[in-house]
Structure 1
Amino acid sequence: MSWQLMLTGPAGEPRPFVMPQIMFSGAVQDRAREATEFYMSLFDDAGFGTVVEYPQASGTAGAGSIMFAEFHIGEQWFSMMDSNVAHRFGFTPGVSLEVRCTDQDEIDRLWGALSAVPEAEQCGWLVDRYGVSWQIVPDNADELLARPGAFERMMHMKKLVIADF
């Protein structure tokens, strides 16, 4: 886990104190905008905030790629960027984005749209086409897991199926 500290103007639109930062590098270099537009297309209340592009190529970042941008899905804000430095790391399941779904239809829709690495699927976890890990879980996961034998059944699931708890 790394941290990026930023000073913002107090007259600007309010942001949360902590915002996850998603940095695109390596195999997904210069795909931050593409990924963010894809993520935002999956949710009703989503949009961009500030977007700052590299005006010219800088290190590993191409001209027009994202130097810094912020976006929201619902009330959750994220920031993202295309790295201009080569890194020996990429996304891992050590950090994932969790989406709480209201019903099986929403689980199925998001799973179908996001899952791109079948061998990474387990217990509601998936990896998308950019390498970002997600957890797609029902809103009432705590209630479902309280049922006798539910944890053992979940351990055999890839996508979570509410009726199978």
Structure 2
Amino acid sequence: MNSCIYPGTFDPITNGHLDVIERASKLFSKVLVAVAKNDTKKPMFGLETRIQMAQIATKHLPNVEVAGFSGLLIEFAKSHGIRTSIRGLRAVSDFEYELQIGYANATLWGDFETIYLMPSLENAFISSSIVRAVLNHNGDVSKLVPNIIIPTLKERIDAYFI
């Protein structure tokens, strides 16, 4: 099966993430969006909420599945029989970090490949940290995230600030 895994924290999922997922869904028969627990980043949203938002945002894509994971990506990928990772590159600043991750994964599993996709120009500046900063100031994120997750975001943000 021609499958790939798209790992990330997705805190929250953005239009840039969705852009990369949609591109990958045209290239692969199955895309597994792997939502990392990643407590070291101190996510704004819990793992289950991030999984839920990713599922809501991708429900229009029949060949996309969403699952949470903790630990090494390589072990999660092996457990799903997936040998290819998709990573998004927005700018040159992403390149060095993503290259290091790609090389580390290839070192851990020689059969593992990483493919880099660029989001469209309109989504190239969007990051989850920008979205979180806007949310922290009660700003409008409707052009930054899939509109279908905004009710979930608002519900969780209201609870977050209480």
Higher strand share: 1
Q: Which has the higher contact order (CA 8 A, sep 6+)?
A: 2
Higher helix share: 2
User: What is the TM-score when the length of structure 2 is the normalising length?
Assistant: 0.24
Larger radius of gyration: 1
User: What is the TM-score when the length of structure 1 is the normalising length?
Assistant: 0.23
